[in-house]
């Protein structure tokens, strides 16, 4: 175990980094429940799928949705981003549907190697039970429903919900072709004025960046709502 992974060192680093982020976040958006953000961040302090700023932005986007909002996430892994979104939602009817094969099957070569390594370390073949355990531990289970499926198959299965979703967050297969296909499949689900956001824009996942750029040029999105590190959000 590296020095940074020692529990005490990890807790100190978490307190420092999270505190620094929250100092700015509370100033920028004093209206949001940053204690809830902190509670979720503490639970996921060992997870490295996103930064404090990126997770804070997902929490903010979800908090800004109307009460009872309906959300779809494509690519949930162990549920960290899903929990930050769920934590920001309001109203008993609000839900996030988490679409993932939960087996890391991806056409993005770089990702495949990463998943193989992580599944070997985890000693499991699916992250679904870890996803469920994370939601249960945070008491957010009533807000989320995992859908074990390939992204495009799920979009076909859920066709009757087109136009009825307030927020779609895409963080699934990072290849260019898969990201283009995800945009085409999931954009029709976003109702007028709703939000579509992506992880990994401008990151080493160049296929994602290229796919989003092309869609911007094609006029797919009405406006850019905001950017936080590698998360970019659009209004449709
Ligand atoms: C980068 S991880 C998601 C991380 C998560 N959003 C977070 O921030 O905590 C990508 C996920 O997408 C899933 N995935 C990849 N390709 C997929 C596909 N075609 N259909 C469904 N899920 C897919 C993988 O199983 C993996 O769990």
Domains by residue range for the chain, with CATH: 49-235 (3.40.50.150)
- 104 C-alpha vs ligand 1 centroid, how far in Å? 6
pTM of the model: 0.96
For residue 50 and ligand 1, the question of a CB distance below 6 A is answered with: yes
Q: 53 and 24 in contact (C-beta within 8 Å)?
A: no
- 150 C-alpha vs ligand 1 centroid, how far in Å? 10
Question: Which of 76, 83, 108 best tests ligand 1's pocket when mutated (most atoms within 8 Å of CB)?
Answer: 76
- The tokens for 194 are 């709703």
| The residue to which tokens 């809830």 are assigned | 36
Q: 112 and 103 in contact (C-beta within 8 Å)?
A: no
The tens place of each residue's pLDDT in the chain, 236 residues long, gives 676 777 788 889 999 999 999 999 999 999 999 999 999 999 999 887 899 999 999 999 999 999 999 999 999 999 999 999 999 999 999 999 999 999 998 888 788 888 989 999 999 999 999 999 999 999 999 999 999 999 999 999 999 999 999 999 999 999 999 999 999 999 999 999 999 999 999 988 899 999 999 999 999 999 999 999 999 999 99
């Amino acid at each position: 175990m590296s020095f940074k992974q020692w529990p005490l060192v990890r807790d100190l680093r978490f307190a420092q980094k999270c505190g620094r982020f929250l100092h700015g976040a509370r100033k920028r958006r004093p209206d949001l429940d940053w204690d809830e953000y902190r509670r979720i961040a503490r639970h996921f302090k060992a997870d490295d799928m996103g930064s404090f700023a990126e997770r804070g932005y997902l929490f903010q986007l979800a908090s800004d949705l109307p009460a009872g909002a309906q959300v779809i996430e494509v690519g949930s892994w162990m549920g960290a981003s899903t929990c930050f979104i769920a934590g920001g939602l309001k109203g008993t009817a609000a839900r996030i549907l988490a679409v993932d094969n939960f087996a890391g099957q991806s056409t993005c070569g770089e990702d495949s190697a990463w998943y193989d390594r992580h599944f070997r370390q985890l000693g499991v073949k699916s992250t679904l039970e870890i996803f469920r355990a994370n939601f249960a531990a945070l008491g957010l289970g009533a807000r989320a429903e995992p859908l074990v499926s390939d992204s495009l198959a799920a979009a076909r299965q859920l066709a009757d919900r087109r136009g009825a979703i307030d927020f779609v967050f895409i963080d699934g297969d990072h290849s260019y072709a898969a990201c283009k296909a995800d945009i085409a499949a999931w954009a029709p689900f976003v109702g007028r004025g709703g939000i579509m956001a992506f992880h990994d824009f401008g990151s080493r996942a160049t296929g994602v960046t290229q796919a989003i750029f092309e869609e911007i040029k094609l006029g797919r999105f009405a406006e850019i709502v905001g950017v936080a590190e590698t998360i970019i959000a659009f209004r449709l």
